Amino acid sequence: MNDIWFDANHVEALLGGRAVIHDLSLKLKLGESTTLLGPNGAGKSTLVNLINRSVYPLVKPSSHLKLFGKSTINIWQLRSSIGIATSELEHRFLPHICAKELILSGFFGATRLGRDQNPNQSQLAKSQSIMEQLDLGAFAETPFGQLSDGQRRRLMIARALVHSPKVLVLDEPCRALDLKACHQLLATMRDLCNQGTTLLVITHRIDTIIPEMSRILFIKEGRICDDGTPTQLLLDSKLSNLFKTPLRVLEHKGYRQVLPG
């Protein structure tokens, strides 16, 4: 089906010689924003690495991993279809490079603009538009090292959007953010969903699951252990089992908070 962007069948993956993804069979659709939820060490980030091709699945006759219907994909085709923003990527950028250059570098798959990398007028206009969209216009000339954590996170999203990808993958987007920065980022994520971008958000925080999420996946010990809607899964008993601690869920306007059970 042409609306399936991620198709895994009996996939296993190793990290440091240890199996971290076990028998993954999963299909993700365009237009269906999804949250992958699980405790630390559950294998969430490895799934991101399978998507961005920094980790490859074990080759087995009965398994496959396809992105947009293809088992092999050109890295440039991947960038034009899937944007990925991770905290690991943040650490690759030099602190003195300005925000505008970091976004423009996304057109070339680099961490800064080289001497032979000259953005054209279309790319300059696109980067300016994205910065305004994510409320970063005032920081275009600000060095990366002088931006707040929230501004840096939005900048990573802006950079991931330069190719107008169909899918945006966010790995722990609210990590280390204060309440204001977190709420601003959640508003950005909601806007992107409402504008037609399909999100895959990887997190361990229930309070950062936006109301626009239509699907929730639970992952534990490298396995998808539950799959359903927020109403079906974000419940006291199911979350308590996932995180192995008693939890009580409170809901308000589509958001959820958890308290000790």
Task: State the CB neighbour count (10 A cutoff) for residue 261.
Answer: 12
What secondary structure letter does DSSP report for 235? S
Taking a C-beta distance cutoff of 8 angstroms, is the pair 179, 117 a contact? no
Mean pLDDT in the chain? 94
156-197 pLDDT per residue, tens: 999 999 999 999 999 999 998 999 999 999 999 999 999 999
Amino acid (1-letter code) at residue 219: I
Q: Average pLDDT, stretch 21-33? A: 96
Which range among 53-57, 194-198, 218-222 shows the weakest confidence by mean pLDDT?
Answer: 53-57
Q: Average pLDDT, stretch 46-75? A: 89
Domains observed in the chain: 4-260 (3.40.50.300)
Return the exposure string of 33-69: e unless at least 16 CB atoms fall within 10 Å of the residue's CB, then b: bbbbbbeeebbbbbbbbbbbeebebeeeeebebbbbe
CA dihedral 143, 144, 150, 151 (to 10 degrees): 50
140-156 pLDDT per residue, tens: 999 999 999 999 999 99
Q: Average pLDDT, stretch 43-71? A: 91
Per DSSP bridges, beta strands 167-171 and 18-29 are: unpaired
pLDDT band at 2 (very low <50, low <70, confident <90, very high): low
Better pLDDT: 226 or 78 = 226
